[in-house]
A and B are shown apart, each in its own frame.
Chain A
Amino acid sequence: MELFFNPFDNLLCILLGISFTVWVTLLLVFIIVPAIFGVSFGIRRLYMKTLLKIFEVRARCLSIYFSLLVNELTIIAKEPTSLEEEIKEIRRSGSNKDLDSASEFEMSDIFYFARRGVESIMDDEVTKRFSAEELESWNLLTRSNNNFHYISLRLTVLWGLGLLIRYGILLPLRVTLAFTGVSLLVFLTSLIGLLQNGRMKNVLSEKVHLMCYRICVRALTAIITYHDSENKPKNGGICVANHTSPIDVIILASDGCYAMVGQIHGGLMGLIQRAMVKACPHIWFERSEVKDRHLVAKRLSNHIQDKSKLPILIFPEGTCINNTSVMMFKKGSFDIGATVYPVAIKYDPRFGDAFWNSSKFGMVSYLLRMMSSWAIVCSVWYLPPMSREEGEDAVQFANRVKSAIARKGGLVDLLWDGGLKREKVKDTFKEEQQKLYSKMLVGTQEDRSRS
């Protein structure tokens, strides 16, 4: 009996061994080696284009189906007028003033919004439009579409197939890569830490950091487009960016070397932090030191004064924001008197929501979510450096930088802090209406400055 099983066992082992070798070789050749040298085969971009095509076809089919559904339920005859036309019409029927010269607020303006409100209660075309838009970008990730009901068998099958591919093929691949990247980082930086301080050490540490971050980027299948690389941060400066998720760090650090700032954690994170600081001077604080603002400021300014040290990477919002807006910047980093290099990061929402809602998900479940999405597509803009001007205090400077980042990234520049973080994305339609109405009443910036 045993003799019978032995050759079979052997065969199985051989097969497993071969497939494992093939797997690792492919991994090495197509992913790790390019990462080391910083070249790209363009496989990821091809992948992104294919995904987009598939989504488009799906969306077209879905929107046809959905619009048929919607038509049955419409009970209101809505005239297709815009906000401006309607409000002007309300006013015109009232006063006989010359309308164009008097775009002032009238008490009757509220009727427009009231009527729209009642219409929405009776027949919610607006929300339907939103759901339809959500459907259009239904990227086969039902996570992003909570109100989604069962539509057809074919779609469910497709979704199941997508699930299989994502969790069965992509996820293991990415986890392997992530492991490789992180362990290489820890191992190599500890090695470099043994060298003498000097030019050789700096050069090597730069190379190692870049290589490991590039592997991590591939582990997330992040397709990043860098704009205006001539403005990349230089030594002795502070790099400031908007914060959407912990992945921001990986995205920025794979294109340039930065000194990170943060709190020392325990566990795996702490291990990585301690290893990194051996190779090049990052700024890690103990939990107790974080509260002491003067200490933080002192360490930061000491670091930037040493021109041989790398630029500091800071996220002044202090917390992850959902990538539709930029919140108030905390002024600490703007008080030190260094040159600030702003960077805007914008994620493409079609490929999944990269926002880390720290109250809902822990770090590990967040990373797993990211690694089981199709891809992460984002754009990074390097803005020209800014310094604090005469007579400007830290808060004004921070706001100036914030507006520049918001403008470049196409994000909404919010004036105040807190509470706005958990606002649903639906608010932007409300904002559209507010924008149109305010444009009518007070005109745009250019009109105002001209008159």
Chain B
Amino acid sequence: FYRTRTRTRTQIKPDSVNSVISASAAHLLRLHQRFQFLDKDSRGSLRSEDLEAALSENPIGVRIVGAFFQQETVDFPSFVRILAHFRPTEKNRTRDGVQPDPAVGRKCPSSVAFQLYDQDRDGKISRTELLQVLREMLGLQVTEEQLQSIAERAIQEADLDRDDAICFDEFRKSLEKVNIDHKLSVRFLE
């Protein structure tokens, strides 16, 4: 147990992580503490079960883990890198529509959100996938008919080429005026 802890410590190269997120050493340390807390059997990396356990109160918890943490195991640098997608943007960045910056390694927020809907990664949100998401978010609180009508309306509004599915461009269009950046960002305490 002791050895694993020191191993993880030496694996953090502050520079490589810091270039991704401009967080102070204190934040990094706290994230590391959090990482260790989630890592229940101290193996130095997180499995999807550990993350899903942390999200057990979230209606779409499993979906979030599947969409954001796609690797089998997540070591600490990857953990920080993925969470960095949710750091607030600097003021001079424009809103959504900006091409993802490969140097920073950060995806644009709407593609991140698209992955939440599109589970089979075929580039489209089918009616079935939409119904699944809605069922997860609403649980047992609505009837089957209500669910169908909500999904129907959503597809009608967003599906412009009438192929009964929402592709990524249609998705982005439907979110045109939403400041997604802000809505998906989590501020670290100063």
| Residues of A bordering B, CB below 8 Å | 73-77, 90-91, 93-96, 104-124, 126-127, 130, 414-415, 424, 426-427, 429-431, 433-435, 437-439, 441-442
Contacts and interface: CB of A to CB of B under 8 A. Distances in A.
A380 B169 CA distance: 58
B60 A114 contact: yes
22 contacts: A75-B30, A75-B31, A76-B187, A90-B178, A95-B177, A107-B171, A108-B183, A109-B137, A110-B60, A110-B137, A111-B180, A111-B184, A115-B184, A117-B58, A120-B55, A431-B141, A433-B58, A434-B137, A437-B59, A437-B138, A442-B142, A442-B146
B189 interface: yes
B56 to A, nearest CB: 6
Interface string B63-99: 0100010000000000000010010000000000000
B51 interface: yes
Chain B at the A interface: SS class:
helix
B174 A438 contact: no
B154 interface: yes
Chain A interface, >50% SS class: helix
Interface string B19-38: 00000000100110110001
Interface in B138-161: 138-142, 146, 150, 153-154, 158
A149 B66 CA distance: 31
A215 to B, nearest CB: 42
Interface of B: 27, 30-31, 33-34, 38, 51, 54-61, 64, 68, 83, 86, 113, 116-117, 133-134, 137-142, 146, 150, 153-154, 158, 166, 171, 174-180, 182-189
Contacts of A121: 34, 38, 51, 54-55, 83
B153 A104 contact: yes
A94 to B, nearest CB: 4
B34 A424 contact: no
A415 B139 CA distance: 12
Nearest to B53: A127
A190 to B, nearest CB: 50
A427 B56 CA distance: 8
A424 B64 CA distance: 20
Nearest 5 pairs between A and B by C-beta?
A434-B139, A94-B178, A438-B141, A117-B64, A429-B57
